[in-house]
A and B are shown apart, each in its own frame.
Chain A
Amino acid sequence: MSGNGSIVAGCLAPHPPHLVYAENPPQNEPRAECGWEPLRWGYERLRAQLDQLDFDVLVVHSPHWQTYIGTHLLGVPDFKSLSVDPVFPNLFRFQYELSVDVELAEAIHDEGRDAGLVMKMMRNPDFRVDYGTIVSCHMSRPAWDKPIVGISSCRATSYYSVEVMQEQATELGRATLRAIEATGRKAVLLSSNSLSHRHFTTEAPVPEDMSREHIYHHGQYLWDMRMIELIRAGRSRELIDVMPEFIEQTVSEADAGSLAWLMGAMDFPDYGGELFGYGTVIGTGNAVVGWFPQRDGVAAGGGAS
């Protein structure tokens, strides 16, 4: 394939393992009674939208593949293993089997490198795919019938600042778009991150006990709503402008660059993202959002801009 590729949807697709746990898919060993339904139903609505689209690949940027030297991409065609969440191993022990669109991954690698970013392909077949990637992909496409491209989070926030991270991540997003266009892929992008991200430091004896679930503090909720309002209003540049403050105030997982990458790839959409659901998971704020350029705005990529 070459040319005429496009992004058919961009999604904010958070990765709390609690959501997979509560869904009880056959791949996951622990079983739940219920839990986090507003978010899971949000994902259900997102999936229904994605089912309407014709696409080839899921491209996911994950905060839980942390690379302190550059951005890395999965570069092995197939992975099959067990993913155990290092933080919530009681909830998430997931047998995964997935394929990788290595050609697209290499194209993103090359575009990123040409744009001056530090890039690296991950070729080790023993590598274990991070649980953030798995959760976001599973909740968005539980059939696992599309190949993925897995992109690491380069921790520029830790080494420099949020502003530097945003510059790098948005550039990586543009490189991703160019690679998608050049390879002719129709791609769904997943930004695998929550919004506010201060966790509780205790866990309920029954993890799905929803009487114990709430936002960590009111300030986080106010910030989450502000960010969601900007998303819904299509004010994506403002979203990026306020992100340093948002990250500082809410310990946001957006510090990993996933959301900035998504905005860069989608050329800062001026149409609204559709909010499918918002909910808290162990105190963190999570929103499931989709941007649909061919439905709501100028098509991102595919020669439409």
Chain B
Amino acid sequence: MTAPSFGPVRGFVVPGLPQPLLVPEQNEGWMRIRKAFEAAKEELHSCNADLILVYSTMWPSVVGHQIQANPEPEWVHVDELFHDLGSIPYRFPVDAEFAGAYCDAARARGLESRTVAYHGFPVDTGSVVALKLLNPDNALPACIVSSNMYADRAETIVLGKAARDALEQQGKRAAVVVVTSLSNRLFTDFIDPKEDRIHSRKDDEWNRKVLEFLGAGRLEDVAQLSREIHRQTRVKKVVNFKPMWWMASVMGQHNRYRGHVYDYAPIYGAGAAVVSLTPSEGGVGDKEFDEEDVEQYGGDRTVLNVEGDGGQGGSPASSSPSASPSTRDALGQEDGTTVNAGGDPKTQGAASHARRVGGLLHLAGIGPCLAGADAVPGGAIRDEQGVPQEYDVTAQTEAAIGNLRTMLEAAGSSLDAVVDVTAFLVDMDRDFAAYNEVYRKHFDNIQATRTTLSVSALPAPVAVEFKVIARAPGT
């Protein structure tokens, strides 16, 4: 298989507890993990990667995801639990440019994200251990992303896709590393290291099953099993077992890898394994998805279901999209301000849905698709192979006008402020009457000027789209 010019070139699963780094000699299994790290290091440095992209389950974040962007973090780290094993001085290079690109890509997909570049920022034990053992000579720069404590599957998968976006945008190849235990139940009393073992037989069996899958290259299948793995083998420190969602997402959401389990051993009761995954033409491809894929993060589900709840609750992508407070406050303040309602319907290209110029809001590409969803209300007009499908233009027009209303309200404006409409229909003969009926229902009292055009196709498989000029708030 030809190495790609950008994107993930290798994946690694590694543990983050400090024993293999600091005291491998105290336990035969810890030493095996140390040697597994050393072998994985050789593989990592032969895979032609430009950077090491790390997702650490030991770096929790609350406000979205954080991405390390200090070009050269340096500190003497001490683990908060295993502090008696010794201090860990570290200094490693970070690809700050990539960190910025990753942050931007995450935001573009609807995620809250920020870079952190502060001297003394506490890099977590897992990241430090992984980088010290996989990249001891600092031959490659790293990028580290946090694990948000509230994030669940959708947010984590979108975070992985944003990494792919950034790799593509930067034209870089990444060795993708997740720092995680398998089963994560530690002993609750101090043990003689020589007597270490996996905490329970059940944990051990589950770990071996996960490793069997990874050894067969079935990363996406493991990702699909993440909720069950969390239920069966994970102490509930966070809402779910997320690293495989992120890794599978970064690496393309399939099972076509050559997997290699370097080793597996207990560390203080938890399951530790070093695994590599190489993208491959072959491998197991007959995956079954129990859960749908997601491209865009639609925000937190509101806990009160109160419209306009201040935006902190947000809304599910499939219901009324609402603007975040920061969006609302920023809207309409300056010429050229990009309007982003947080739950905007998707754009198909490098374009904004809305901009304010002077006293006017310009909105374009307003179709029926709901924010964060690929499904078309009323049905797509063609399938993925381009075969025409039956669809409901009434439902599409209703949804498109609903999206238009949402966008305008997010900008502090309203449907009443619309002054000019350009509508695009892909089948004027078939759809005009139904489209016009819905349009009249919403615009009869507004009396905006309107032009309806027939076009051969739209980028998305939809029948109707609007381009609108409206008065900006305060004008």
Known A-B contacts A118-B188, A212-B325; A124 and B78 likewise in contact (beta carbons under 8 Å): yes
Question: Is A216 within 8 A of B312, CB to CB?
Answer: yes
Question: Is B189 within 8 A of A70, CB to CB?
Answer: yes
Within 8 A of B (CB), among A127-173: 127-128, 130, 152, 155-156, 158-159
Question: Is B63 within 8 A of A202, CB to CB?
Answer: yes
Task: State the Cβ distance, A237 to closest chain B Cβ, in Å.
Answer: 27
B interface size (C-beta, 8 A): 47
Known A-B contacts A82-B119, A200-B312; A87 and B63 likewise in contact (beta carbons under 8 Å): yes
Question: Is A201 within 8 A of B87, CB to CB?
Answer: no
- Contact with B312, one of A67, A82, A201 (Cβ below 8 angstroms): A201
Within 8 A of A (CB), among B43-73: 59-64
Question: Is A66 within 8 A of B188, CB to CB?
Answer: no
Give me 12 other A-B pairs in contact (C-beta within 8 A), A156-B188, A217-B313 excluded.
Answer: A67-B81, A69-B187, A87-B63, A93-B120, A120-B190, A123-B83, A126-B76, A159-B185, A201-B300, A205-B330, A216-B303, A217-B303
Give Cα A203–Cα B313 distance, bound, in whole angstroms: 12
Question: Is A122 within 8 A of B83, CB to CB?
Answer: yes
* Residues in A neighbouring B268, C-beta threshold 8 A: 69
Judge if B80 is at the interface, Cβ distance under 8 Å. yes
Task: State the Cβ distance, B99 to closest chain A Cβ, in Å.
Answer: 14
* Residues in B neighbouring A127, C-beta threshold 8 A: 78, 80, 83
Give Cα A124–Cα B18 distance, bound, in whole angstroms: 15
Main secondary structure of the interface of B (DSSP, over half): loop
- Contact with B63, one of A65, A84, A93, A199 (Cβ below 8 angstroms): A199
Task: State the Cβ distance, B317 to closest chain A Cβ, in Å.
Answer: 15
- Contact with A70, one of B64, B185, B188, B300 (Cβ below 8 angstroms): B188
Main secondary structure of the interface of A (DSSP, over half): loop
Judge if A34 is at the interface, Cβ distance under 8 Å. no
Question: Is A158 within 8 A of B325, CB to CB?
Answer: no
Task: State the Cβ distance, B192 to closest chain A Cβ, in Å.
Answer: 14
Task: State the Cβ distance, A102 to closest chain B Cβ, in Å.
Answer: 15
Give Cα A152–Cα B80 distance, bound, in whole angstroms: 9
Known A-B contacts A124-B83, A124-B84; A202 and B120 likewise in contact (beta carbons under 8 Å): no
Judge if A86 is at the interface, Cβ distance under 8 Å. yes
Within 8 A of A (CB), among B273-326: 300, 303-304, 310-313, 324-326
The 17 sampled A-B contact pairs (Cβ below 8 Å) are A66-B80, A66-B81, A68-B186, A68-B188, A69-B186, A72-B83, A84-B122, A87-B61, A89-B121, A127-B78, A156-B188, A159-B188, A201-B63, A201-B300, A202-B63, A202-B324, A214-B310
Judge if B450 is at the interface, Cβ distance under 8 Å. no
Question: Is B188 within 8 A of A217, CB to CB?
Answer: no
Judge if A204 is at the interface, Cβ distance under 8 Å. yes
Question: Is B81 within 8 A of A68, CB to CB?
Answer: yes
Task: State the Cβ distance, B415 to closest chain A Cβ, in Å.
Answer: 27
Judge if B150 is at the interface, Cβ distance under 8 Å. yes
Judge if B236 is at the interface, Cβ distance under 8 Å. yes
* Residues in A neighbouring B237, C-beta threshold 8 A: 155, 158
* Residues in A neighbouring B310, C-beta threshold 8 A: 212, 214
Could you tell me which A residues sit within 8 Å of B by CB distance?
Answer: 65-70, 72, 81-84, 86-89, 93, 118, 120, 122-124, 126-128, 130, 152, 155-156, 158-159, 198-205, 212, 214, 216-219, 282-283
- For B270, the closest partner residue in chain A by CB is A68
Known A-B contacts A67-B81, A87-B63, A124-B78; A201 and B188 likewise in contact (beta carbons under 8 Å): no
Judge if B439 is at the interface, Cβ distance under 8 Å. no
Question: Is A201 within 8 A of B150, CB to CB?
Answer: yes
Task: State the Cβ distance, B69 to closest chain A Cβ, in Å.
Answer: 11
Report B74-111 CB contacts with A as 1/0, cut-off 8 Å: 00111011011011000000000000000000000000
Judge if B116 is at the interface, Cβ distance under 8 Å. yes
Give Cα A72–Cα B83 distance, bound, in whole angstroms: 10
- Contact with A202, one of B116, B119, B236, B312 (Cβ below 8 angstroms): B312
- For B111, the closest partner residue in chain A by CB is A201
Task: State the Cβ distance, B454 to closest chain A Cβ, in Å.
Answer: 42
Question: Is B64 within 8 A of A124, CB to CB?
Answer: no
- Contact with A201, one of B64, B83, B190, B235 (Cβ below 8 angstroms): B64
Within 8 A of A (CB), among B183-224: 185-190
- Contact with A69, one of B77, B112, B188, B311 (Cβ below 8 angstroms): B188
Question: Is B87 within 8 A of A124, CB to CB?
Answer: yes
Question: Is B235 within 8 A of A126, CB to CB?
Answer: no
The 7 closest A-B pairs by CB, nearest first: A82-B120, A126-B87, A124-B83, A200-B312, A127-B78, A84-B120, A126-B76
- For B146, the closest partner residue in chain A by CB is A86
Task: State the Cβ distance, B190 to closest chain A Cβ, in Å.
Answer: 6
Question: Is B112 within 8 A of A202, CB to CB?
Answer: yes
- Contact with A204, one of B77, B80, B190, B325 (Cβ below 8 angstroms): B325
Task: State the Cβ distance, B472 to closest chain A Cβ, in Å.
Answer: 21
Judge if B443 is at the interface, Cβ distance under 8 Å. no
- For A30, the closest partner residue in chain B by CB is B118
Question: Is A86 within 8 A of B87, CB to CB?
Answer: no
Give Cα A26–Cα B148 distance, bound, in whole angstroms: 31
* Residues in B neighbouring A212, C-beta threshold 8 A: 310, 325
Task: State the Cβ distance, A131 to closest chain B Cβ, in Å.
Answer: 9
Give Cα A86–Cα B183 distance, bound, in whole angstroms: 25
* Residues in A neighbouring B60, C-beta threshold 8 A: 86-87
Task: State the Cβ distance, A161 to closest chain B Cβ, in Å.
Answer: 11
Question: Is B121 within 8 A of A86, CB to CB?
Answer: yes
Task: State the Cβ distance, B155 to closest chain A Cβ, in Å.
Answer: 9
Task: State the Cβ distance, A285 to closest chain B Cβ, in Å.
Answer: 14
Question: Is A93 within 8 A of B235, CB to CB?
Answer: no
Give Cα A86–Cα B148 distance, bound, in whole angstroms: 12
* Residues in A neighbouring B236, C-beta threshold 8 A: 158
Give Cα A87–Cα B116 distance, bound, in whole angstroms: 10
Task: State the Cβ distance, B144 to closest chain A Cβ, in Å.
Answer: 12
* Residues in A neighbouring B83, C-beta threshold 8 A: 72, 122-124, 127
Task: State the Cβ distance, B187 to closest chain A Cβ, in Å.
Answer: 7
